[in-house]
């Protein structure tokens, strides 16, 4: 029998290797940024088009390459960073495998332009599917530019597998964050489709965090610092009250390399014990320095996991250090000389009883009557509110029923609904509310119990989806536009859904840097809730389950409906209860909420008969 084993041709081997190194555009971004750092650059520019599917380009002012190296760097296992196996245990660079450029060149159109400081001319090289198609001298500045075009052009299956542009862009931004945070002394910029996403000057860690996550982050940071024989820790944790439900800002860096470690995350999380609400995740930016010999970064192909020699000691030390910092922080407010005293109650007022404001009400006003009501008190008439909202009162005290006019004295902002006069309504259908959670309605065959929050979600969801996809909703113009600030990645997400949001009634008048100005909002939400609602939408999009098969419009409508729907604990006047029932049964699918949970159940009177 003849021998059957052959060596694979290089370009095939490279394509196979590429599967491991390059999963998506963000992987290319990571490799190119890390190469630029390893080349000693102090200024790095990232240019991306179409979420990296069309172009990813990184320009650095690092050491550059000779003509020969420019060609060699695309060979597999070609690296200048290690020479023998021992070097693996004393790594000071990000790369060492010599695989990245070879892999990228196997699955994209790549051009490289590079020049060393003392060379007169540089080199320009074009490579497609591992084949060098052109090489010539080029007049370029010191440093290197690598352009990667048409990623996966020769592997359609991989290209089709890529997610939507917002999702891929998010991955790119994540990688950009990791490298930029690890190297605050390096200036970075990023542009996407021609517009600036980040412009980060060389700075310190605090400024870098603020540069990325927005100026508001500054006041949330609690410094962490400790040095022992085995590890040096510095960085910041976020004050407990800023912990999020989603694992947003969690960054560990070991020797300036971003890593993931469930074990160390646990250490930090447990240092926050007792300070976090249920289900909240601590936020942190922690930089660990350990002797390179004491770690093995080799255990994971994409290198975000590492192995420490002395993991237990690092755990204990990290937990103690973070706890200590939080302890110091909790005494800090007492010594806080920067506190804004403007909100303190002046001495002479501090013992006075609050005066109950006098409110004039038109008791005969009925929002369901079309005829104009002459004596409407202007401050309580918000004609642009949707009818359901104008009928309900939110109360935090669940045992407390809103009885109408009497409530006006307490919550002047939320009381529009109580203007509704019980004696003037249409003949009742006999609905009532149970535990401020269910609407119970007699029906021919017995009883129907409706989950008010889910029912309202269903109503809003169908309405929003209609608005987003087919017709635009009306919007209420704000007299004073709202100024909201978002971190850059959040703003990117917001930018990707502005059009849909505008269909629901939002009007974005400006989107600059961190500031977003909103001059119109959907009629069915109140101004005070806008920020929470948008943040929730962004968080939901971030957590979007890939491959769930739902469109972004659907996700958006669900998310908005969830945060806009009346909650359990909201008192509904009779007319509001009936209105919800009517709207619910005008829906296409009244039986389930957008998350597919039951909205209502019915009980036959024969069921009662059995019980008696
Ligand atoms: P690795 O980074 O693991 O060594 P790469 O495939 O990423 O492997 O790069 C191969 C080699 O090409 C590097 O070792 C380095 O010598 C050279 N190189 C890559 N990018 C740059 C750059 N931006 N500036 C200078 N040299 C570079
Ligand atoms: Mg590399």
d(CA 183, CA 166): 26
How many alpha carbons fall within 13 Å on the CB side of residue 302? 15
| Residue numbers of the chain with a pLDDT score lower than 70 | 298-303, 330-427, 544-550
State residue 581 phi and psi, 5-degree precision. -60, -45
d(CA 175, CA 33): 9
- Residue 31 Cβ contacting ligand 1 at under 6 Å: yes
> Ligand nearest 45 Cα, by number?
1
Tokens representing 262? 């469930």
Domains and CATH numbers, the chain: 10-200 (3.30.565.10), 212-328 (3.30.230.10), 432-601 (3.30.1370.100)
Pocket test for ligand 1, best of 96, 101, 115, 127 (most atoms within 8 A of CB): 101
Residue 541 is predicted with a pLDDT of 81
**CA-to-CA separations, 11 to 29, 131, 154, 306, 424, in angstroms, rounded:** 22, 8, 12, 30, 82
d(CA 519, CA 501): 13
Element (H, E) at 505: none
The CB density around residue 231, as the number of other CB atoms within 10 Å, is 20
- Residue 95 Cβ contacting ligand 1 at under 6 Å: yes
Do the strands 43-49 and 187-192 form a parallel or antiparallel pair, or are they unpaired?
Answer: parallel
d(CA 590, CA 599): 7
Non-local CB neighbours of 533 within 8 Å, separated by 6+ positions: 525, 560, 563, 564
- Residue 35 Cβ contacting ligand 1 at under 6 Å: yes
Neighbours of ion ligand 2 (CB under 5 A): 35, 95, 100
- Residue 66 Cβ contacting ligand 1 at under 6 Å: no
Residue 427 is predicted with a pLDDT of 61
Count Cβ atoms within 10 A of the Cβ of residue 342 and give its class: 0-12 exposed, 13-18 middle, 19 or more buried.
exposed
State residue 24 phi and psi, 5-degree precision. -160, 170
> Ligand nearest 36 Cα, by number?
1
Mapped onto helix, strand or coil, the DSSP state of residue 381 is: coil
**CA-to-CA separations, 157 to 25, 148, 161, 460, in angstroms, rounded:** 15, 19, 6, 38
d(CA 225, CA 16): 44
- Residue 73 Cβ contacting ligand 1 at under 6 Å: yes
> Ligand nearest 74 Cα, by number?
1
- Residue 36 Cβ contacting ligand 1 at under 6 Å: yes
Tell me how far apart the terminal alpha carbons of the chain are, to the nearest angstrom. Answer: 87
- Residue 538 Cβ contacting ligand 1 at under 6 Å: no
d(CA 248, CA 538): 12
- Residue 65 Cβ contacting ligand 1 at under 6 Å: yes
Q: Which residues of 273-300 are buried (b: 16+ CB within 10 A; e: fewer)?
A: eebeeeebbbbbbbbbebebeebebeee
How many alpha carbons fall within 13 Å on the CB side of residue 429? 20
Closest C-alpha residue for ligand 1 atom 13: 79
d(CA 99, CA 110): 15
Ligand 1 closest atom vs CA 103:
6
Non-local CB neighbours of 60 within 8 Å, separated by 6+ positions: 35, 36, 39, 41, 43, 44, 45, 143, 144, 145
> Ligand nearest 30 Cα, by number?
2
Residue 369 is predicted with a pLDDT of 55
Closest C-alpha residue for ligand 1 atom 8: 98
- Residue 534 Cβ contacting ligand 1 at under 6 Å: no
What spacing in Å lies between the alpha carbon of 78 and ligand 2's midpoint? 10
- Residue 560 Cβ contacting ligand 1 at under 6 Å: no
Pocket test for ligand 1, best of 27, 33, 35, 122 (most atoms within 8 A of CB): 35
Dmax of the chain from CA atoms?
Answer: 105
What spacing in Å lies between the alpha carbon of 79 and ligand 2's midpoint? 8
């Amino acid at each position: 029998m003849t021998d059957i084993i052959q060596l694979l041709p290089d370009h095939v081997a490279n394509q196979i290797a590429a599967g491991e190194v390059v999963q998506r555009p963000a992987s290319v971004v990571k490799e190119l940024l890390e190469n630029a750092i390893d080349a000693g650059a102090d200024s790095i520019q990232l240019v991306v088009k179409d979420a990296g599917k069309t172009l990813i380009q990184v320009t650095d002012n690092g050491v550059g390459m000779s003509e020969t190296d420019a060609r060699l760097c695309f060979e597999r296992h070609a690296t200048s960073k290690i020479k023998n196996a021992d070097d693996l245990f004393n790594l000071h660079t990000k790369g060492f495998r010599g695989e990245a450029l070879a892999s990228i060149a196997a699955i994209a159109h790549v051009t490289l332009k590079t020049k060393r400081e003392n060379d007169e001319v540089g080199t320009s090289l074009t490579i497609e599917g591992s084949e060098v198609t052109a090489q010539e001298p080029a007049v370029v500045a010191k440093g290197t530019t690598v352009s990667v075009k048409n990623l996966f052009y020769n592997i359609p299956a991989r290209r089709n597998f890529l997610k939507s542009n917002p999702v891929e862009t998010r991955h790119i931004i994540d990688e950009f964050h990791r490298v930029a945070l690890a190297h605050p002394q390096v200036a970075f910029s990023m542009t996407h489709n021609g517009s600036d996403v980040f412009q980060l000057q060389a700075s310190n860690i605090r400024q870098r965090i603020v540069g990325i996550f927005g100026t508001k982050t500054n006041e949330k940071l609690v410094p962490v610092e400790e040095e022992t024989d085995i590890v040096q820790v510095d960085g910041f944790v976020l004050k407990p009250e800023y912990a999020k439900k989603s694992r947003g800002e969690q960054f560990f860096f070991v020797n300036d390399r971003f890593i993931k470690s469930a074990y160390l995350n646990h250490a930090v999380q447990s240092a926050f014990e007792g300070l976090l609400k249920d289900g909240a995740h601590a936020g942190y930016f922690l930089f660990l320095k350990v002797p390179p010999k004491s770690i093995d970064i080799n255990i994971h192909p994409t290198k975000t996991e590492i192995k420490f020699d002395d993991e237990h000691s690092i755990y204990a030390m990290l937990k103690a250090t973070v706890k200590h910092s939080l302890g110091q922080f909790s005494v800090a407010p007492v010594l806080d000389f920067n506190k804004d005293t403007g909100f303190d109650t002046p001495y002479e007022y501090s013992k006075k009883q609050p005066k109950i404001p006098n409110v004039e009400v038109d008791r005969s006003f009925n929002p369901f009557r079309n005829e104009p009501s002459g004596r409407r008190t202007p401050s309580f008439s918000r004609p642009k509110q949707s009818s359901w909202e104008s009928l309900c009162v939110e109360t935090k005290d669940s045992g407390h029923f809103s009885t109408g006019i009497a409530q006006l004295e307490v919550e002047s902002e939320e009381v529009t609904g109580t203007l509704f006069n019980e004696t003037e309504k249409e003949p009742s259908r006999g609905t009532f509310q149970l535990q401020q959670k269910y609407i119970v309605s007699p029906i021919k065959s017995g009883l129907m119990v409706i989950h008010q929050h889910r029912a309202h979600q269903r109503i809003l969801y169908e309405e929003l989806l209609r608005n987003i996809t087919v017709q635009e909703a009306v919007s209420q113009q704000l007299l004073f536009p709202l100024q909201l600030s978002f971190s850059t990645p959040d703003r990117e997400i917001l930018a990707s859904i502005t059009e849909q949001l505008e269909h629901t009634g939002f009007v974005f008048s400006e989107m600059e840097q961190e500031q977003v100005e909103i001059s119109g909002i959907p009629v069915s939400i109140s101004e005070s809730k806008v920020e929470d609602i948008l943040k929730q939408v962004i968080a939901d999009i971030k957590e979007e389950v890939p491959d769930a098969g739902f469109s972004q419009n659907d996700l958006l409508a669900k998310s908005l409906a969830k945060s806009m729907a009346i909650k359990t604990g909201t008192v509904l006047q009779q007319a509001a209860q009936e209105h919800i029932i009517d709207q619910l049964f005008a829906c296409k699918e009244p039986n389930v909420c957008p998350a597919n949970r039951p909205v209502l159940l019915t009980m036959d009177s024969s069921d009662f008969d059995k019980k008696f």
